[in-house]
Amino acid sequence: MARDGAKRAVLIAGPTASGKTALAIERARKSGARIVNADSMQVYGVLDRLTARPNPDELAQARHEMFGHVDPSMRYSTGAWLADAHKQIQEAEKENQELIFVGGTGLYFDALLNGFAQVPAIDPGFVAQAEKLIQDRDEAGRMALLAERDPETAGRLKVADPQRVVRALSVLMATGKSLSAFQGANGPGLLDGYALEKIVLMPERGLLRRRIGERFEAMMEAGAVGEVETLLARDLDPSLPAMKAIGVGEIAAMLGGEMGREEAVEKAVTATRQYAKRQSTWFRNRFGYWSFVDPFAG
């Protein structure tokens, strides 16, 4: 929000390693805004470096909220994120403070702007079943499976990313109803009445690929291995979202002697690049009306 009392928010989305944190901090330092996390992996504690959360120096430069506030033993849903984001919006309004939402999880931004279906809580067992169904399928295979099981929801998806397909399948198995049936009763968006600036950071593909590789190497040097050791020591359910963060499985295999450091890094970097490609496709398809910016051009 601004000193004139107008309600304002900046939304900064983009694939991993696209420079979102730097831009958010730059904007927050100018406006005094609070930065609210909109990344589904950066909500979890322990994995500070492996999820590329802002480091201590970055955190000291602006107010940050909803980073690392969820224990890795929890399954944190889009609905839970939206409830937490609502609290941040209410607090910012009381303090006449602008908001900056930053992250790479498109579903969070979609829910923030367009509302979110109040789907009943889904037993983790159904989520695990859905994940098993899609684990060996590419995007076309995931779409074909969803079209067979839930054609209505499949018809509404432009991109059959794993998270959305698992969500739709697990809801169908748990409730016997299509996710689309619930989505028809979305609540209102939380930023109605706000002046919004919507930005998608989209670096040149080759540069983004290089940044991903360099960043993962930096993560390894900065303590990512110790973070995974801490996580593994807790003997958590391997189906938990935090346990599926990119790099956890690869580093765990390295620690267990199943692969060397070089192979673990290579596999994690490849998985990250594939994830960034899916993110980029999602943002282009769903947020094509946002302002697309190459933060490293020129």
Give the pLDDT confidence score for residue 3 in this predicted structure: 53
103, 21: one domain: yes
Q: How far is CA 184 from the centre of its chain?
A: 23
111, 142: one domain: no
Dihedral sign for Cα 283, 276, 215, 105, please.
positive
Q: Is residue 258 part of a domain?
A: yes
CATH number at residue 177: 1.10.20.140
Q: Is 188 annotated as a binding residue?
A: no
Q: Is residue 298 part of a domain?
A: no
Give the pLDDT confidence score for residue 235 in this predicted structure: 96
Q: How many domains does the chain have?
A: 3
Low-confidence ranges of the chain (pLDDT < 50): 1
* Tally of CB atoms within 10 A around 282: 22
Q: Is 20 annotated as a binding residue?
A: yes
51, 197: one domain: yes
Give the DSSP H or E segment for 127. helix 124-134
40, 128: one domain: no
Q: How far is CA 189 from the centre of its chain?
A: 18
Q: Determine the Cα–Cα distance for residues 139 and 161; give it in Å rounded to an integer.
A: 7
Q: Phi and psi at residue 292, in whole multiples of 5°? A: -90, 130
211, 83: one domain: no
Q: Determine the Cα–Cα distance for residues 23 and 26; give it in Å rounded to an integer.
A: 5
Give the pLDDT confidence score for residue 79 in this predicted structure: 86
- The residue behind tokens 């107008």 is 6
Q: Is 124 annotated as a binding residue?
A: no
132, 247: one domain: no
Domain span holding position 241: 205-283
pLDDT tens string 34-60: 999 999 999 999 999 999 999 999 999
Give the pLDDT confidence score for residue 6 in this predicted structure: 79
Q: Is 15 annotated as a binding residue?
A: yes
168, 279: one domain: no
pLDDT tens string 253-273: 999 999 999 999 999 999 999
Q: Is 16 annotated as a binding residue?
A: yes
Give the pLDDT confidence score for residue 179 in this predicted structure: 83
Q: What whole-number percentage of the chain has pLDDT above 70?
A: 96
Q: Determine the Cα–Cα distance for residues 184 and 182; give it in Å rounded to an integer.
A: 5
171, 239: one domain: no
Q: Is residue 3 part of a domain?
A: no
146, 241: one domain: no
CATH number at residue 66: 3.40.50.300
Give the pLDDT confidence score for residue 217 in this predicted structure: 97
281: left (phi over 0), alpha (psi -120 to 50) or beta: alpha
